[in-house]
Amino acid sequence: MKFREITSGLQFPEGPIAMDDGSVLLVEIARGTLSRVTPDGRISVVADLGGGPNGAAIGPDGAVYVCNNGGFHWHTEADGTLRPMAQAADYSGGRIERVHLGTGRAERLYEQVDGRGLRGPNDLVFDAHGGFYFTDLGKGRAHDMDMGAVYYGRPDGSPASVVARPLLTPNGVGLSPDGSTLYYAETAGARLWAYDITAPGQVRKDAWPSPNGGRMLAASPGGMLQRFDSLAVDVLGNICVATLMHGGISIISPDGSLCSHVPLPDRMTTNLCFGGKDRRTAFVTLSGTGKLIAIDDWPIPGLALAHEA
């Protein structure tokens, strides 16, 4: 599939948001910023957040809500590929931040749920009710790692609730077109999980042997070295998962019966969003090489997100 490069020189981009003016908001995890990329490839900083800003989404108030994982230790491979590793030495704690686009001012919305500090918030998605689901992947260290969770929060900062935990490395999160199904991508096992939503922030859970109450839709379709990152959903309900190591986008049907792969030249392909005319352009972050690319004429239009800018 053909693509065009919009810009390079980004410091591990993630969390793209396609804006009406043709620009793309995204985070630069290694730089600690929320940035804007214009159609001609110019990069400007919207907010300097520090830590490790990760997933991002537009909320009902027009602000950008950012998952901040608190920071990584970074490693550069021999071929120049940048990749995150363990918890940073200057780890600043996980949080959800609200960024006001007009001023760049940021405020911390959540730093804990049920008295437990957030460890590595990763991605989020708003629903039609104005709340948002967000994942906490956890953090890895030299001798141990955290279990993660999916939470449900609200823009007013009222107490967030637990949707599902403990989970192994929950990363990308999304909703089906009718809002009745919650999906999350598990990084470590390259598995895609689904839950039926019974009310905002509440899901039905399957009994054992499901390890987390979810339904597994796909498991490592590209082999055991594959990893899943963030995701987006198209209008037919297919889940498009950014795929690490094998580099590209794995496309999984809503019932998990079909899976295809769009290869891309970066094994740190981390996220995508849909924008442009009829949402037929996929904007993809190639994080290992620091690029934002666009794939025009994507076969199926992307799903319009709640409160999409």
- The predicted pLDDT at position 1 comes to 86
Backbone angles phi, psi at 208, to 5 degrees: -50, 140
Distance CA 266, CA 245 (A): 8
CA distance linking residue 291 with residue 14, whole number of Å = 10
pTM of the model: 0.96
Query: Measured between alpha carbons, how far is 65 from 59 in angstroms, rounded to an integer?
Result: 7
Beta strands 116-117 and 112-113, pairing class = antiparallel
Q: 69, 50 in Cβ contact below 8 A?
A: no
Q: What pLDDT score was predicted for residue 237?
A: 98
End-to-end CA distance of the chain: 27
As a whole number of angstroms, the distance between CA 113 and CA 94 comes to: 11
Give all strands of the β-sheet with 43-48 in edge-to-edge order. 13-18, 24-28, 33-37, 43-48
Q: How far apart are CA 268 and CA 246, in angstroms?
A: 8
212: helix, coil or strand? coil
Question: Residue 277: helix, strand or coil by DSSP?
Answer: helix
Q: Are 87 and 140 in contact (CB under 8 A)?
A: yes
- In sequence order, the β-bridge partners of residue 65 are 57, 98
pLDDT of residue 177: 97
Look at the block and give the residue holding tokens 């708003």. Answer: 126
Instruction: Write down the pLDDT at residue 223.
Output: 61
| Interatomic CA distance for residues 288 and 290, integer angstroms | 6
**Please, what sign has the CA dihedral across residues 232, 236, 237, 242?**
negative
Domains in the chain, CATH or no CATH each = 4-295 (2.120.10.30)
The tens place of each residue's pLDDT in the chain, 309 residues long, gives 899 999 999 999 999 999 999 999 999 999 999 999 999 999 999 999 999 999 999 999 999 999 999 999 999 999 999 999 999 999 999 999 999 999 999 999 999 999 999 999 999 999 999 999 999 999 999 999 999 999 999 999 999 999 999 999 999 999 999 999 999 999 999 999 999 999 999 999 999 999 999 999 998 765 667 899 999 999 999 999 999 998 999 999 999 988 999 999 999 999 999 999 999 999 999 999 999 999 999 999 999 998 875
Token pair, residue 300, equals 């199926």
Q: Does 209 sit behind a cis peptide bond, omega within 30 degrees of 0 on the bond before it?
A: yes
CB 183 within 8 A of CB 133: no
Q: State which amino acid sits at residue 125.
A: V
CA distance 135 to 133: 7
